[in-house]
Amino acid sequence: MKQIDYIIVGDGYAGMFFAHQLIRNNKSFVLFSEGRKSASQVSAGIINPVVLKKFTTFWKAQEQIDFLKKTLTEIKSYTGKNYLIDSPIHRIFHDENEQKLWLKKSENDELSGFLDKKFDHLEVVKNNFLTGKVNQSARLQVSGFFVDLFDFLEKNAFLIKEKFDYTKLDASSGTYKDLQFKNAVFCEGMGVTENPFFSDIAVNPNKGHHIKVKLSHAIPEDVTIKKKHFLFPTDNGLYFYGGTYDREQLHHHVDESAVTQLVNGLSEIYPHDFEVEEVNFGFRPTVKDRRPIIGRHASFKNLYVFNGLGARGILNGCYFSKSLYQFIEEDIPLHEEVSAERFK
Ligand SMILES: Cc1cc2nc3c(=O)[nH]c(=O)nc-3n(C[C@H](O)[C@H](O)[C@H](O)COP(=O)(O)OP(=O)(O)OC[C@H]3O[C@@H](n4cnc5c(N)ncnc54)[C@H](O)[C@@H]3O)c2cc1C
């Protein structure tokens, strides 16, 4: 039997950021990846402290942004790369009322650090009512982040490229096949529905599509444009536009109505020709109260769940990986707001 401290099941933001906590604390572990494109890999990579519909912020936004920056610097120390793209969100205003609301909200203590008071005009895209800049917003270079982390995990023998087989887990003895583990942390996103130990947690799928498009006229490269959805350049010359939200059409194929919605949304702000080159979709694990679900199994004290990252996989995944680590290793209680106990 090989002795390890942790098993991690799942390779999205939850699994990767938890793996980082183990790396920085010198814990031994293996991470199971079934090799499917995760919702995390399909995500836009937006890091955003503001709810852009209502111009509000959310619980611990500043702390989460600061912690993410610190964590990405730590990750850079072993992958050698920076994944934070300093390309702030510019929210296109629909009308003057939105401009007024933005300015009013920018006086608010919670929002003054995020809502820039000076409006900008962008070239090429339609922004008759200008744009508001979200200070401290940025983007993660999603593909590089995952390619490099998989590479690092593989080189250090932390990665097992297999679907984790729940029937082979003996929680009482802390064994899985030839592994003897102290703790197992389940980070499967919507895959958790197949996990017999945590299948009852209150996450619901919200399907998101994005398109990658070829634009006939280049748009400003140093900003992330947002009206209905996000628009920004990727590293292969294509532009990302997305993502949609859908709680109803949950089949595992591309939904043409989502593609139409995206094409229409992009046409509204981009007055030139474009071609759709790629369509991708994923399932966000969402929770009614919009907070993650973190907890320990009621009977098996060595099994944990880390899920419900919702639409903010990066900030939630990064910040709460540390809370979970401290809960397991240092007995520091989880915040009630994210504890799985709140549903009991
Ligand atoms: C279109 C779209 C755009 C988005 N944009 C953003 C954004 O800009 N910013 C942001 O912060 N968030 C964004 N999100 C949300 C974010 O992607 C999710 O919150 C996040 O992906 C959830 O991460 P996760 O690790 O919990 O799950 P996932 O990313 O789904 O990862 C879980 C992984 O576990 C694997 N797995 C499951 N079961 C097993 C098993 N038995 N054995 C082995 N592996 C297993 C799955 O294959 C999967 O790869 C977006 C989501 C979508 C769909």
Same domain, 161 and 294: yes
Q: What range does the domain containing 228 cover?
A: 204-286
Q: Is 259 exposed, middle or buried (0-12, 13-18, 19+ CB in 10 A)?
A: middle
Per the domain annotation, does 107 fall within a domain? no
CA-based end-to-end distance of the chain: 36
Q: Is the dihedral of CA 243, 246, 252, 254 positive or negative?
A: negative
Per the domain annotation, does 136 fall within a domain? no
Among the atoms of ligand 1, which is closest to the Cα of residue 284? 18
Same domain, 282 and 149: no
Ligand 1 binding pocket includes 292 (Cβ within 6 Å): no
Per the domain annotation, does 81 fall within a domain? no
87 — pLDDT class (breaks 50, 70, 90): very high
Per the domain annotation, does 106 fall within a domain? no
Same domain, 152 and 220: no
Residue 15 has pLDDT above 90, yes or no: yes
pLDDT tens column, 187-244: 999 999 999 999 999 999 999 999 999 999 999 999 999 999 999 999 889 999 999 9
Mutate to test the pocket of ligand 1, among 11, 40, 177, 197 (most ligand atoms within 8 A of CB): 40
H/E stretch holding 155 reads: helix 142-155
We report the CATH number of the domain holding residue 148 as 3.50.50.60
Distance 189 CA to ligand 1 centre (A): 6
Same domain, 337 and 209: no
Protein residue whose Cα sits closest to atom 47 of ligand 1: 36
Structure tokens at 204: 């619901």
pLDDT for the residue numbered 296:
98
Strand 89-92 and strand 224-226: the pairing is parallel
Ligand 1 binding pocket includes 38 (Cβ within 6 Å): yes
Same domain, 221 and 196: no
pLDDT for the residue numbered 344:
82
Rg (CA), the chain: 21
The overall average pLDDT reported for the chain is 97
Q: Tell me whether the omega of the peptide bond preceding residue 243 falls within 30 degrees of 0, making it cis.
A: yes
pLDDT over 70, % of the chain: 100
If DSSP codes are grouped into helix, strand and coil, which group holds residue 187? coil
CA distance 149 to 63: 24
Candidate from 74-78, 184-188, 340-344 with smallest mean pLDDT: 340-344
Same domain, 185 and 212: no
- Nearest in space to 234 (alpha carbons), one of 219, 256, 254: 219
Mutate to test the pocket of ligand 1, among 67, 284, 286 (most ligand atoms within 8 A of CB): 284
Same domain, 265 and 294: no
Ligand 1 binding pocket includes 137 (Cβ within 6 Å): no
Per the domain annotation, does 300 fall within a domain? yes
Same domain, 234 and 296: no
pLDDT for the residue numbered 271:
95
Ligand 1 binding pocket includes 219 (Cβ within 6 Å): no
341: which residues sit within 8 A by CB, 6+ positions away?
A: 295
Same domain, 33 and 16: yes
Q: Do the interacting molecules here have an ipTM over 0.90? A: yes
CA distance 106 to 153: 42
Structure tokens at 211: 């398109």
Protein residue whose Cα sits closest to atom 48 of ligand 1: 38
Distance 4 CA to ligand 1 centre (A): 25
Which of 238, 264, 286 is where one domain is finished? Answer: 286
Which of 264, 286, 308 is where one domain is finished? Answer: 286
We report the CATH number of the domain holding residue 245 as 3.30.9.10
Which of 251, 267, 286 is where one domain is finished? Answer: 286
Neighbours of 214 (CB within 10 A): 13
Judge whether 334 and 294 are in contact, CB under 8 Å: yes
pLDDT for the residue numbered 232:
98
CA distance 65 to 207: 25
Judge whether 155 and 164 are in contact, CB under 8 Å: no
Q: Can you say how many angstroms the Cα of residue 276 is from the centroid of all Cα atoms in its chain?
A: 24
H/E stretch holding 276 reads: strand 274-286
Number of structural domains (the chain) is 2
Ligand 1 binding pocket includes 195 (Cβ within 6 Å): no
2 — pLDDT class (breaks 50, 70, 90): very high
Q: Which amino acid is at 109?
A: D
Among the atoms of ligand 1, which is closest to the Cα of residue 311? 15
Same domain, 149 and 195: yes
Same domain, 305 and 237: no
Among the atoms of ligand 1, which is closest to the Cα of residue 165? 41
pLDDT for the residue numbered 235:
87
If DSSP codes are grouped into helix, strand and coil, which group holds residue 107? coil
Judge whether 46 and 224 are in contact, CB under 8 Å: yes
Ligand 1 binding pocket includes 212 (Cβ within 6 Å): no
Q: What is the mean pLDDT of residues 153-167?
A: 98
pLDDT for the residue numbered 121:
97
